[in-house]
C-alpha cells in the first residue's frame, strides 16, 4: 500500500482535473529542503544516500512513529483504524512507540527518548490545557517531523469554536447554567487539591483554544475531520519514501472540493436561489448541486481530498478540509461565496434569504476559528 | 493631532465609479474631512472580498468604510447588490465576534455626493473615536528556536499611526 503509485497519485489526480500545474510529490528533488538528509554519496553507515535521515540511522530498525491527541473527539484515532487491512502495512513498515488511545505507552516513555528519536509524530486535536501544551512541546522535541493531523490540529476544529466565548463563559456554561447541571456549591475545577491521600492535580484551562502551530512549529498538515484514509496513506507513503513536499505543506490536493464533486456538472452557471435552507427542511435531490438547492455547501472554498464524502451522503460540505492556498481567512472567504450565490437584492429580501443562516460564525468558522484572522471573540 | 485624543485608523474601500469620484469631488470642492481615512479604490464594491475587511481589522484598522453606487446605479449592474449581501452576512458574523456595528459601515454614495463623503467620514471617525481602539485578541505564535514562515503574509505587517 505504501507503493510509489500511492504517492504518485496522491497529489496528481486533482492537478490534472483542473488543469493547473502543481508540485507533484514524485517531481520533487531528492535532496529535500528538510535539513534532514545526508548529502548524496554518504554511505559509511550502509545507508542509501536517498534514505531519509529522519527515519533513523539503522536501516534494520523501523522508523519510530507516535500518535497523540490533544483537544479532540477520538475521530482521528478512528481514522487510523479506518486504514483497515492497510494498517498491517503501516505496522510492518514502522514501529509505533506512542499512542495513548490504543497502546500502553506512557509520557515517561516519551521523556526517556532522545531528542528527535521519533521519526514522525501525528498530533491531532486543538490545544487548550496546560497538559496539551506540555505534551505538544515534548513531542516536538522528540519527533523529527510533527504532522498536524485533522482539522483541530490544523485549524482549531470544533473545539476552537469555544473562542466565541470567554474562558469564564465556558466554565459557567459547564458548571452553572447548563440545563442539566446541578451545582449549588458553585464547584469549579481546581488545578490542585489536597486530598488526605496527597495532592491531586488537574491541568489548567487556557484562556483560548489554539491550533497546533500556534504553540509549536509544525512540519506538515493533514486536513479533514477526520483526515480521509486516502490522504493518510498518501502522507505515510510520502514520509516513508522521503518524497515529502517543502515543510509547511498541506498534504492534500490544492483544488476546491467542487472540482472533485460528483455533482459538479449540475452546478448552474449562475447560482441565484432566493433563500438558504437547512438540511432538515428539504429532501435534497441526490443528483443536483446542493448549493443550487439552497443548502449552505462550503465546497467552493474548501480544500478537496475527501472525495466529497458528505455530498455523497446528500449532506452539504461544512468545510473541514480547510482553506485553499491564497485564502487569508477561511470563514470570510466562504461567506463571500455563499452570500454571492443568493438572488436577493434589497435589505428585506436579503433578510429573508439569510434567515436560515442563524449562526454565521459557527457556519463559516466551524473548523477554523482559531485559524481565522479574528482568532477569538474580541475582549476574550 | 498630537493632543492626546485617540486617532482611529479607518480603511475605506470606495468604488471607482461613484464613491471614489465623490471623494475626488469633495477634494476639488475643498471640503475638509477628518484625515483618519485611507482610501483604497476598487473597481466596484462587488469586488470587496469580506477577507479585505478582516485583514484590515487584523492589520490595525479600527474601522472599515465601504462605499458603492446607489442600488440600481452599479456600473456593472449587480456588483453593489453582491456587496450588500456579503456586508449583511459579514456584519452578523462580526457582531458574533464582538466587533461593534459602528466599526464596519456600508454607504451608497453617488459621484455627485461629495458632501456625503465628508459627512459619512466625519460621522464614522467620531463614532469610532468614541469606541476607542479595536483591540482584537492577539494570534498566538509558537515560541522556540525553529521559525516557520507564517501562513498569512499579513501576520507581521502593521499600519502606521495617523
Residue B52 included in any domain: yes
B51 touches chain A (CB under 8 A): yes
Q: What average pLDDT score do residues B49-59 get?
A: 97
For residues A225 and B158, the model is more confident at A225
Q: What is the CATH number of the domain that holds B125?
A: 3.40.50.960
Please report the pLDDT score of residue B160 as a whole number.
56
Distance CA A324, CA A253 (A): 9
B18 touches chain A (CB under 8 A): no
DSSP per-residue string spanning A210-264 = E-GGGTS--SEEE-SSSPPHHHHHHHHHHHHTT---STT-BSS-SSBGGGG-TTG
Q: Which residue of A has its CA nearest to B148?
A: A217
Whether the pLDDT of residue A347 is over 90: the answer is yes
- The minimal CB distance from B93 to the residues A331, A342, A344 is found for A331
Closest Cα of chain A to B135: distance in Å?
7
- The parent domain of residue B126 ranges over 10-131
User: What does the mean pLDDT of chain A come to?
Assistant: 86
- The minimal CB distance from B51 to the residues A214, A329, A340 is found for A329
Q: Which residue of A has its CA nearest to B78?
A: A345
Please report the pLDDT score of residue A131 as a whole number.
96
Q: What average pLDDT score do residues A28-36 get?
A: 37
Whether the pLDDT of residue A23 is over 50: the answer is no
Please report the pLDDT score of residue A21 as a whole number.
38
Cell 462605499 locates to: B67
Beta bridge partners of B42: B15
B55 touches chain A (CB under 8 A): yes
For residues A24 and B53, the model is more confident at B53
- The minimal CB distance from B81 to the residues A345, A357, A376 is found for A345
Contact B85 A140 (CB under 8 A): no
Contact status, residue A357 vs residue B88, Cβ threshold 8 Å: no
Question: What angle (nearest 5°) sits at the alpha carbon of residue B49, between those of residues A302 and A274?
Answer: 75
Question: How far is CA A339 from each of CA A272, A360, A368, rounded to the nearest angstrom?
Answer: 10, 11, 19
Q: ipTM of this model?
A: 0.87
CA quadruple A217, A223, A228, A234: dihedral, nearest 10: -50
Mutation target vs A (from B77, B88, B150; most A CBs, 10 A cutoff): B88
Alpha helices in A82-198 (DSSP H): 86-93, 107-111, 130-142, 151-155, 167-172
From chain B, the residues in CB contact with A366 under 8 A are none
Query: A29: exposed, middle or buried (C-beta count within 10 Å: 0-12, 13-18, 19+)?
Result: exposed
From chain A, the residues in CB contact with B149 under 8 A are 248
Q: What average pLDDT score do residues A225-254 get?
A: 92
B2 touches chain A (CB under 8 A): no
Closest Cα of chain A to B11: distance in Å?
17
Distance CA B132, CA B102 (A): 11
Contact B50 A336 (CB under 8 A): yes
| Structural domains of chain A, with CATH | 4-158+208-240 (3.40.50.700), 256-365 (no CATH)
> For a pLDDT cut of 90, what percent of chain A falls above it?
76
Contact A335 B86 (CB under 8 A): yes
DSSP per-residue string spanning A271-302 = --BS--B-TTTS---SSS-TTTTTB---GGGS
- The minimal CB distance from A340 to the residues B71, B85, B153 is found for B85
Closest Cα of chain A to B39: distance in Å?
21
B155 touches chain A (CB under 8 A): no
From chain A, the residues in CB contact with B53 under 8 A are 332
Q: What average pLDDT score do residues A88-92 get?
A: 86
The residue count for chain A: 380
Q: Is B99 left (phi over 0), alpha (psi -120 to 50) or beta?
A: beta
| Residue A1 pLDDT level (bands cut at 50, 70, 90) | very low
Whether the pLDDT of residue B151 is over 70: the answer is no
Other CB atoms within 10 A of residue A74 CB: 12
| Residue A53 pLDDT level (bands cut at 50, 70, 90) | low
Residue B115 included in any domain: yes
Whether the pLDDT of residue A146 is over 70: the answer is yes
Q: What average pLDDT score do residues A26-36 get?
A: 37
Contact A335 B93 (CB under 8 A): yes
Contact status, residue A236 vs residue A222, Cβ threshold 8 Å: no
Distance CA A15, CA A259 (A): 10
Number of structural domains chain B divides into: 1
Please report the pLDDT score of residue B57 as a whole number.
97
Q: What average pLDDT score do residues A221-230 get?
A: 96
How many Cα atoms occupy the beta-carbon half-sphere of A62 within 13 Å?
12
Cell 517543502 locates to: A246
Q: Is A107 left (phi over 0), alpha (psi -120 to 50) or beta?
A: alpha
B140 touches chain A (CB under 8 A): yes
Residue B76 included in any domain: yes
From chain B, the residues in CB contact with A248 under 8 A are 148-149, 151
Whether the pLDDT of residue B39 is over 50: the answer is yes
DSSP three-state, residue B99: coil
Closest Cα of chain B to A91: distance in Å?
30
Residue B141 included in any domain: no
Whether the pLDDT of residue B121 is over 50: the answer is yes
A19-33, A202-216, A258-272: least confident range: A19-33
Please report the pLDDT score of residue A34 as a whole number.
37
Q: Which residue of A has its CA nearest to B136?
A: A378
Distance CA A278, CA A129 (A): 34
| Residue A85 pLDDT level (bands cut at 50, 70, 90) | confident
Mutation target vs B (from A329, A341, A351; most B CBs, 10 A cutoff): A329
Please report the pLDDT score of residue A30 as a whole number.
39
Contact B144 A140 (CB under 8 A): yes
Please report the pLDDT score of residue A88 as a whole number.
87
- The minimal CB distance from B92 to the residues A333, A360, A379 is found for A360
Contact A378 B98 (CB under 8 A): yes
Which tens digit of pLDDT belongs to each residue from A172-193?
Answer: 999 999 999 999 999 999 999 9
Closest Cα of chain B to A86: distance in Å?
33
| Residue A87 pLDDT level (bands cut at 50, 70, 90) | confident
Distance CA A319, CA A299 (A): 7
Mutation target vs A (from B139, B148, B150; most A CBs, 10 A cutoff): B139
Please report the pLDDT score of residue A55 as a whole number.
60
Residue B155 included in any domain: no
User: What does the mean pLDDT of chain B come to?
Assistant: 90
Mutation target vs B (from A137, A138, A339; most B CBs, 10 A cutoff): A339
Query: B123: exposed, middle or buried (C-beta count within 10 Å: 0-12, 13-18, 19+)?
Result: middle
Task: Pull the grid cell for residue A345.
Answer: 437584492
Distance CA B132, CA B123 (A): 14
Residue B19 included in any domain: yes
Q: What average pLDDT score do residues A98-106 get?
A: 93
Of A23, A19, A68, whose CA–CA distance to A238 is shortest? A23
From chain B, the residues in CB contact with A353 under 8 A are 85
Residue B75 included in any domain: yes
Q: What average pLDDT score do residues A127-135 get?
A: 96
Contact A214 B53 (CB under 8 A): no
For residues A16 and A195, the model is more confident at A195
Whether the pLDDT of residue B70 is over 90: the answer is yes
Contact status, residue A79 vs residue A232, Cβ threshold 8 Å: yes
From chain A, the residues in CB contact with B148 under 8 A are 213, 217-218, 247-248
Amino acid at each position: 500500500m505504501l507503493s510509489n503509485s500511492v504517492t504518485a497519485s496522491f497529489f496528481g489526480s486533482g492537478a490534472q482535473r483542473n488543469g493547473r500545474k502543481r508540485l507533484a510529490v514524485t517531481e520533487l528533488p531528492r535532496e529535500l529542503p528538510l535539513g534532514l538528509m545526508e548529502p548524496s554519496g554518504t554511505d559509511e553507515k550502509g545507508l542509501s544516500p536517498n534514505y531519509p535521515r529522519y527515519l533513523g540511522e539503522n536501516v534494520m530498525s523501523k522508523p519510530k512513529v507516535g500518535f497523540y491527541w490533544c483537544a479532540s473527539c477520538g475521530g482521528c484515532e478512528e481514522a487510523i483504524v479506518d486504514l483497515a487491512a492497510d494498517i498491517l502495512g503501516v505496522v510492518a513498515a514502522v514501529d509505533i512507540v506512542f499512542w495513548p488511545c490504543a497502546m500502553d505507552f506512557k509520557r515517561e516513555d516519551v521523556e526517556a527518548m532522545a531528542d528527535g528519536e521519533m521519526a514522525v509524530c501525528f498530533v491531532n486535536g486543538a490545544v487548550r490545557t496546560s497538559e496539551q501544551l506540555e505534551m505538544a512541546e515534548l513531542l516536538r522535541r522528540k519527533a523529527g517531523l510533527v504532522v498536524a493531523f485533522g482539522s483541530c490540529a490544523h485549524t482549531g476544529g470544533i473545539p476552537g469554536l469555544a473562542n466565541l466565548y470567554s474562558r469564564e463563559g465556558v466554565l459557567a456554561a459547564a458548571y452553572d447554567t447548563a440545563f442539566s447541571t446541578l451545582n449549588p456549591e458553585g464547584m469549579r475545577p481546581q488545578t490542585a487539591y489536597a486530598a488526605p491521600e496527597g495532592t491531586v492535580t488537574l491541568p489548567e484551562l487556557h484562556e483560548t483554544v489554539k491550533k497546533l502551530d500556534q504553540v509549536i512549529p509544525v512540519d506538515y498538515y493533514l486536513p479533514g475531520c477526520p483526515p480521509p484514509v486516502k490522504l493518510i496513506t498518501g502522507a505515510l507513503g510520502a514520509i516513508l519514501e522521503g518524497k515529502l513536499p517543502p515543510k509547511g505543506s498541506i498534504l492534500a490536493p490544492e483544488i476546491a472540493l467542487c472540482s472533485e464533486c460528483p455533482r459538479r456538472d449540475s452546478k448552474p452557471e449562475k447560482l441565484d436561489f432566493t433563500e438558504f435552507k437547512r438540511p432538515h427542511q428539504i429532501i435534497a435531490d441526490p443528483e443536483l448541486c446542493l448549493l443550487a438547492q439552497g443548502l449552505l455547501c462550503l465546497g467552493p472554498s474548501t480544500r478537496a481530498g475527501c472525495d466529497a464524502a458528505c455530498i455523497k451522503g446528500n449532506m452539504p460540505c461544512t468545510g473541514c478540509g480547510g482553506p485553499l492556498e491564497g485564502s487569508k481567512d477561511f470563514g470570510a472567504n466562504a461567506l463571500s461565496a455563499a452570500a454571492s450565490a443568493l438572488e436577493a437584492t434589497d435589505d428585506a429580501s436579503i433578510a429573508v434569504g439569510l434567515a436560515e443562516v442563524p449562526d454565521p460564525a459557527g457556519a463559516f468558522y466551524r473548523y477554523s476559528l482559531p485559524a481565522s484572522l479574528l482568532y477569538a471573540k474580541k475582549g476574550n | 493631532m498630537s493632543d492626546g485624543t485617540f486617532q482611529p485608523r479607518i480603511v475605506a474601500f470606495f468604488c471607482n465609479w461613484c464613491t471614489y469620484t465623490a471623494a475626488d469631488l469633495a477634494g476639488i470642492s475643498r471640503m475638509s474631512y477628518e484625515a483618519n481615512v485611507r482610501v483604497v479604490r476598487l473597481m466596484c464594491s462587488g469586488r470587496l472580498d469580506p477577507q479585505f475587511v478582516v485583514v484590515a481589522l487584523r492589520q490595525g484598522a479600527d474601522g472599515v468604510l465601504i462605499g458603492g453606487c446607489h442600488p440600481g446605479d452599479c456600473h456593472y449592474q449587480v456588483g453593489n447588490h453582491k456587496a450588500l449581501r456579503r456586508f449583511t452576512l459579514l456584519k452578523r458574523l462580526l457582531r458574533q465576534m464582538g466587533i461593534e456595528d459602528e466599526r464596519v459601515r456600508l454607504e451608497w454614495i453617488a459621484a455627485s455626493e461629495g458632501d456625503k463623503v465628508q459627512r459619512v467620514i466625519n460621522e464614522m471617525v467620531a463614532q469610532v473615536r468614541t469606541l476607542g481602539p479595536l483591540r482584537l485578541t492577539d494570534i498566538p505564535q509558537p515560541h522556540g528556536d525553529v521559525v516557520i514562515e507564517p501562513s498569512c503574509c499579513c501576520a507581521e505587517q502593521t499600519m502606521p499611526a495617523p
